[in-house]
A = this chain, B = another copy of it.
Amino acid sequence: MSKEITSRSEDYSKWYNDIVKKAELADHSAVRGCMVIKPTGFAIWENMQKQLDKMFKDTGHVNAYFPLFVPKSLFEAEEKNAEGFAKECAVVTHYRLKTNPDDKSKLMVDPDAKLEEELIVRPTSEAIIWNTYRDWIKSYRDLPLLINQWANVVRWEMRTRMFLRTAEFLWQEGHTAHSTKEEAIEEAKLMQDVYAQFAEEYMAMPVIKGIKSESERFAGADDTYTIEALMQDGKALQAGTSHFLGQNFAKAFEVKFTDSDQKEKYVWATSWGVSTRLVGGLIMTHSDDQGLVIPPKLAPTQVVIVPIPKPGEEIDEVANKIMAGLKEKGISVKYDQDEKKRPGFKFAEHEMKGIPVRIGIGKRDLEKGVVEVARRDTKEKASIGLDNVVAHVEQLMEDIQNNLFQRALDYRNDHMTSVDTFDEFKKVLEEKGGFISAHWDGTAETEDKIKKETKATIRCIPNDAKEEDGKCVFSGKPSKRRVLFAKAY
């Protein structure tokens, strides 16, 4: 099986598509730019959802659900937001089909069923939600309002890639309302922290926390906090964003509250989201030329047991005992009893699907009282005594999780380069890739010129960027701190 995928060095982009396909994560669909998320891919997303949902609830948020459609008049109310998304909106104009009189087997849009006002399929839900919040928020006692929704959204992208950029995608979007600016900023930063914690502890994907430049901000935000990861081809991935929306939506939708001082004030807002794009990031952070690699904490199946050469009474008994022991520890395990496939084929298949640990149970090994335990990340194998298998695998879950994170962190650190001239900038970008730490004069003009010339964008101004006098790598104008540039997905 492994022969069937392209290697990373040969064609990174093809390697990615091969993995998505061969590990059965997703498939193309009949709808332009939309994918089908297959059961294995969806199980990863479900695990992400479960953990994120817990973290949102632990930080005081509750879930709700708002309509899929946004009436055009609401959509256009917040001008910058509308402008930012107008060019990629799917628009519902009719609510009925009828039989085509020229061909009775076909349907056509019924021209008599034209909507008075067009409906936009939500590309994001600020408009519909803030139009609702107007009715919910009257007093400071109604604040803060800490709501999240799990939903599908549609952005009509011209160039799509499975998980990373699709016309329809699944995500969560938090929308919170606050009585003060400070509290809203604190919330936006808190969610950036939650995202970073999730990315690092669960996805084993190191991220840099930072703030976006004005040009890269979410349309309608006063500030966008981001977490940025680095993929194995040296390109950055924006993995999650949290926006301080100021009073922009409150003003557009007239959402005011009476404060404790009896004065009427506009509400302060945040929104924040991560999407199925994270699955793409997970794939690209850890996988190798043999296929998918998933960190144990998010793997739908953590351990697979393969009988060598095939199931039998003695082997089944050992397998069942190990399975019972693992399940007791909360470790998910499958016993691959398919007699139509040989062990070697199964090994390659489970490697391709990224199952973190494989246990091979063979007769000859059993005579010695051992089984073979192989880990997916390093491909190391060890003979482990039967009494010790469960404890060994439990430890491996932690070791693999940590190793994947460390490996990705080492790669990221190796691909973080400080440059002081634009020649160096271009050379590093071309030859090495990764994040480039450089001085920037703070203008959108320079940012844009650099982007046009190199395709690199400012990923973020890192939260921990130190004050440091310097000169803009492009214009030579004075700069107070370094920012991070990279080519990005």
Contacts and interface: CB of A to CB of B under 8 A. Distances in A.
A118 B66 CA distance: 25
Given A65-B36, A68-B34, A29 B120 contact: no
B62 A37 contact: no
A91 interface: yes
Interface string A51-80: 000000000001111111111101110010
Interface in A10-61: 27, 29-31, 34-39, 42-43, 45-46
Q: How many copies does the complex hold?
A: 2
A107 B82 contact: yes
Given A29-B128, A38-B64, A68-B34, A97 B107 contact: no
Interface residues of A, number: 66
Given A36-B67, A37-B65, A39-B63, A86 B98 contact: yes
Interface in A94-132: 94-99, 105-107, 109, 118-121, 128, 131-132
Interface string A344-363: 00000000000000000000
A156 interface: yes
A80 B329 CA distance: 50
Nearest to A96: B87
A135 interface: yes
A428 interface: no
A88 interface: yes
Nearest to A62: B39
Among A64, A95, A131, A152, which residue has the most Cβ atoms of chain B within 10 A? Answer: A95
Contact of A96 (B79, B156, B170): B156
B63 A31 contact: no
Contacts of A64: 36-39, 42
Contacts of A67: 29-31, 34-36, 168
Interface string A383-402: 00000000000000000000
Given A31-B119, A107-B72, A91 B87 contact: no
Nearest to A89: B97
A74 B109 contact: no
A120 B113 CA distance: 14
A366 interface: no
B29 A132 contact: yes
Contacts of A143: none
A99 B91 CA distance: 15
Contacts of A106: 76
Nearest to A121: B92
Contacts of A147: 39
B63 A76 contact: no
A380 to B, nearest CB: 31
A338 B119 CA distance: 41
Nearest to A87: B96
B92 A92 contact: yes
A118 to B, nearest CB: 6
A7 interface: no
A283 interface: no
Contacts of A94: 90-91, 93
A90 B92 contact: yes
A68 B131 contact: no
A34 B70 CA distance: 11
A147 B67 CA distance: 26
A78 to B, nearest CB: 11
A461 interface: no
A154 interface: yes
19 contacts: A27-B135, A27-B136, A29-B128, A29-B132, A31-B70, A31-B119, A34-B68, A39-B63, A39-B147, A68-B152, A68-B168, A86-B98, A88-B96, A90-B94, A91-B95, A91-B96, A92-B121, A93-B109, A151-B152
The 5 closest A-B pairs by CB, nearest first: A34-B67, A39-B62, A37-B65, A86-B97, A95-B156
Given A88-B96, A151-B152, 20 more contacts: A27-B135, A29-B128, A31-B71, A31-B119, A34-B68, A34-B69, A35-B67, A39-B64, A42-B64, A42-B65, A43-B62, A68-B121, A68-B154, A68-B168, A91-B93, A91-B94, A92-B92, A93-B93, A93-B109, A121-B121
